[in-house]
Each structure stands twice: as C-alpha cells, then as structure tokens.
Amino acid sequence: MLKKVLPITAVLIAVIGLMVACDNGQSTDNQAANQSPNDEKNTNHSEEQEAALPQPVLEKTDQGEDVKALQKVLNKLGYQIPVNSNFDEMTTWAITDFQMQQKDMPITGIYNKTTKQKLQKTLDTNGKVNPGAALEQPDDNQKIASNPHEILVLVNKEHSLPNGFKPKNLVVPDVQFPFDEFREKKQMRKVAATALGKLFNAADNAGLELYAQSGYRSYERQDAIFASNVEAYGEKAANNVSARPGESEHQTGLTMDVTTPDVGFNLNTDFGTTDEGKWLKEHAAEYGFIIRYPKGKENITQYQYEPWHLRYVGEKAATEIMNKGITLEEFLGKK
C-alpha cells in the first residue's frame, strides 16, 4: 500500500512545481511587457529633458547650466559646438547663423524669447537647419570680426570688420534729424532703429530735444572722413577722433551720433553737460544703448570722450556696462 501512495505523491509534487514555474514565467513575461512601454516612455522623456530650451535671455559672456542646455539643443540641430556652459564665439555663431536662416527674424546673436520660440518650433516639427549656410564658422583671426552681424560685435582699432561688409536690414529710424533729405547716415539696422525710436519717445516725454545726426557709414564714406581729418589735423590727431575705414562702429549699423539745438546740432563734449546728455547717461541702457566712449576710459577705447556716440548692444548688456561704468571692451574681456 505504501508503494502505491509514494508515486502519486511524487506526481502531485511535480505537477504543482510545473504550475508554479509556468506562473513565474508568465509573471516575468508580463513584467517585461509592462516595463517595456514605460522604459521607452522614460527614455523619450529623458531625451526631451536633454533637449529642453532654457528660459532666460542668454548672450556672449554668460555661463552656467542654462547655456549648457542651449548648447545641447544646438548640437541636436546639427551645430557641432562645444557643450562647455560658456556662451562663447561658437555658441554666438550658431545662434546668429540660425537667426539668419529664419524669415523676418532679428539677427542679434542673442538667445531671447523670439529665438527660443523659433528653436522650439524647429524641434517640434523636425525642421531642417543647415549649420553654416548663412554664416561661416569663426576662424582664428582675432583681428577681423568673423561674426559682424551679432550686436555685441567688437569694432575698434584692434578689431576690424571684414572687407566688403554691409549690415542687413538697414532702415531709417522714426526719429527727428536736423536735416530733411535722405542721406546714407540716416540709417541703422532695424533692431537698433526700433530701440532708438523708443529712446527718442521717452526723451520727448521727458521734455528733451534729441536729434539723430549720424548713423550708418559705408567703408567708402569712412575712408573719405578719415582722409579729410588726416589732411586737417595730421594722422596721429585724426586717429584719436576718427576711425580708419573698417574700424568704425558706424559701419555696423548699430551706432547713432545724437545732438541737440543747445549745442548747435554739433557733436562735441559740451553735449555731455546738456539736459539731453545727462538724461542719456542715466537712461540709455533702458533701451539697449551705451555711451560707447565714456570719460576716463580713453586708454581702453583709444578714442576721446564722446557723450554723443550711442551704440546698441541690447538691454541686458547695456544695463551691466552702464551700471558698472565699464566699456564694451571690458565687458567682453578684451580690454
């Protein structure tokens, strides 16, 4: 009797073991099936986070995680730039090149709300970008601006513009001039002209009389001006008050010399003592402008004090430069 029971028990144990094994196998399969979509979802979410665009305004000299996030997005779009958390020349180039490939977009080299929206749309729609199609990558020649389109471009006696450069989107700002006829020097780049209009409106509301005197100058026009100053004052003196062709900020389209009837519409240091000159020193940065050649910084700018010479750099940079009492050279670390 014992011999018959033992085989039945063994069979039952084997059957139960098989059922448990099958159940465990099915559970493992179900877990794998359940985990696979989640893993894929998490992976996609991770990739989305990797390509997330930062919120703040970012520009040359900025550093940090926001810059790093932006660089990763630019990499994803095909821009082979270092992901180093520094908004450097290569990052500025990539932003400028992207902006130049968009329709009716301000070209600044600065990452702002408008640029963020365009980048996000490109990501969402898998839009194509052709890196370098609009602007060549920077080279090692630090003496010639490789990206003259960015609004923080440095132009001085040590850093010139490339041969044949003419800024895009030149327009006449909606401000008053002491002359009526059209002249080349009435023009500015559109982004700077718009800001100048806002500045003049604010000055007018403050009861001031500002007039625009001289904006864009071509290479040829600057050549004639410099030659005239050399003839009148000698080359050494001329080099202190006037730029050589290719070394003038006026050629960028980001500059406007301003004046007032109180100084006979002239451009001289007396302008700094007028109500208009004092107001500009205090409020120009609110509209993205700096006094490019401030008093006491002649050894850095290599030009005399010019309280009338406004240079557009954007509100963020202008605020820091004016609050700290520094020059564009010092802001960019190229003094």
Q: Are residues 176 and 134 in the same domain?
A: no
In a domain, 5, yes or no: no
**3-class state of residue 116 by DSSP:** helix
Q: 105-129 pLDDT, tens per residue?
A: 999 999 999 999 999 999 999 999 9
In this prediction, residue 140 carries a pLDDT of 75
pTM: 0.83
Specify whether 239 is located in the same domain as 298.
Answer: yes
pLDDT in tens, 181-235: 999 999 999 999 999 999 999 999 999 999 999 999 999 998 898 899 898 888 8
Q: What mean pLDDT comes out for the span 143-160?
A: 95
- DSSP-H helix ranges across the chain: 2-50, 65-76, 89-100, 113-124, 190-205, 219-233, 235-241, 275-283, 298-301, 315-324, 328-331
Are 289 and 309 in contact by the 8 Å Cβ rule? The answer is no
State the residue range of the domain holding 285: 170-331
Same domain, 220 and 119: no
Q: Do 91 and 239 reside in the same domain of the chain?
A: no
Same domain for 120 and 222, yes or no, is no
- Is residue 327 one of the residues assigned to a domain? yes
CATH number at 81 reads 1.10.101.10
Reduce the DSSP state of residue 102 to 3 states and report it: coil
Whether 159 is in a domain gets the answer: no
Q: For 45-53, what is the mean pLDDT?
A: 58
Statement to judge: residues 205 and 82 lie in one domain = no
Burial class (CB in 10 A: 0-12, 13-18, 19+), 205: exposed
- Looking at the fold, whether 105 and 175 belong to one and the same domain comes out as no
Q: What is the pLDDT of residue 2?
A: 39
Q: Residue 227: inside a domain, yes or no? A: yes
Which of these ranges, 26-40, 135-149, 308-322, has the smallest mean pLDDT? 26-40
Residue with tokens 């490109």: 122
Q: Is residue 304 part of a domain?
A: yes
| 27 pLDDT more than 70 | no
pLDDT at site 298 = 95
Residues 131 and 177 in one domain: no
- Domain shared by 190 and 233, yes or no: yes
Q: How many domains does the chain have?
A: 2
The domain spanning residue 309 has which CATH number? 3.30.1380.10
Residue pLDDT, tens place only, 247-291: 999 999 999 999 999 999 999 999 999 999 999 999 999 999 999
Q: Domain for residue 27, yes or no?
A: no
Give the model's pLDDT for residue 50: 54
Same domain, 208 and 266: yes
Q: Are residues 203 and 309 in the same domain?
A: yes
